[in-house]
Structure 1
Amino acid sequence: MNPSAAIRPLVAAAVTTALVTAVSYGAPRDYAGTAVGLVFLAATWWLVLRRDEAVIRAHGLSLGGLLEPAPLSARRLAADGARALAWTLLLGAIIFPAFWLGYRLWWSPTRPFHFRLAAEPFDEIVAQLLVVAIPEEAFFRGYLQSALDRAFPPRLRVLGAAVGPGLLIAAVIFAIGHVLTIRHPARLAVFFPALVFGWLRARTGGVGAPALFHAACNLLSVTLARGYGLAP
């Protein structure tokens, strides 16, 4: 254990969170989400992605080779994508029914669920994956959790994944960042899915599966909100 090695990633997380918070309030409302995603990507590029492929792989940021400075292998990309999809489907089958029940109990909707697509469903899916999930997972699970794991080596095995304080600290900072951008206590609840995202990062060795599952969680949330008439 080397607590001093945690100083740099914690400072990077504090600076990035401050920038994201400022951008979320300062950017035009229609572009705030995109601006926040760009800040996370820029921070991840500066901290990891501008370095060689060994560093990128060590942070789980290869995404099937897409983010490595090396020739792209279609086979590797397809294999990594299939694995991420398989994990998303498996965890979705286990977690989403319970989440749906919890959603009903928490929000107590006054009407039955009625499935409604977004006005632009393709745009919604792409936005959740490319603008929200990948930038956030790249920073929090790719850079931050990986860096904290080096400072506090994981010593506990949970369902085949080696986890430690780095997962918890990254999840806490993730939740704090969410409540700073939208000041509502309910935003702190993202701490719990962040634990799953962090476990997926540890279990699969990359951020592809966490990013895809993260996007699926967000899509489920907005679909439930529309279906119960709690959001347009």
Structure 2
Amino acid sequence: MTIFKEKDYNSKNKWKLNDSDLWFKGNEIESYNKQEGNPGVYQYDGKKLSYRALPVKTKSGQENHYSISTTFVKSKNGMLWFGTFGAVIGYNGSNFKIINDASLGLNDETGHLHIRSIMEDSKGNLWIGNNGIGVLKYEGIKAINFTEQQKLKKEDSKGNSLERVFSIGEDKLGNIWFGTLESGVWRYDGKSVKNYTKKDGVKSKHIWTIYKTKQGELWFGGASPSGVYRFNGISFERKY
């Protein structure tokens, strides 16, 4: 068992990428501590745990803007993606890619990023779930607002919407699934989007996570009330 007596803060800007690295979010539940000095992540290379500062700067009063808010995603092309509340930041070993309000042209009128989930599908598309402006689909060159494209904003749907998305997953058939707050679960088969709600067995009002097993099955974890669900092809069964 390895015990870390100290962390290497001096290497915070010496980014590098190894296939066997393990990555962790920062010390604080939110924001960052005085030694870290900037939003970032920890990298363990098998010998040393080092802090890597993200290539962003916070504004006074917005110290939590770039705190890690999602799991990390390792892309098929080697890009490592970090999801924060205000940006998705990719690193390929030499360069960074930053997807944020500025790069997307977002403002108070359009709504801002509030990222709660990221997932790369089998085709290499990066899906970005937000609590507010819905789902973005990034194809490597540009990002489109999938929620707007599918006319699934509240003003369009007049009911459940795909605006508050906290989890995303892909099943073995290539269907993309979205877990939302108060709007059930949604499935996109490449052509249309279908909504599953309480009448379909989804009793939780908040789907926090979608987990894919080695067999390709998806498990859905929810809250209010708590529950773990599995889709049987027609409806959802609560397993726990």
Q: Which has the higher strand share?
A: 2
TM (norm. structure 2) is 0.24
Q: Which has the higher helix share?
A: 1
Larger radius of gyration: 2
Greater relative contact order (Cα < 8 A, sep 6+): 1
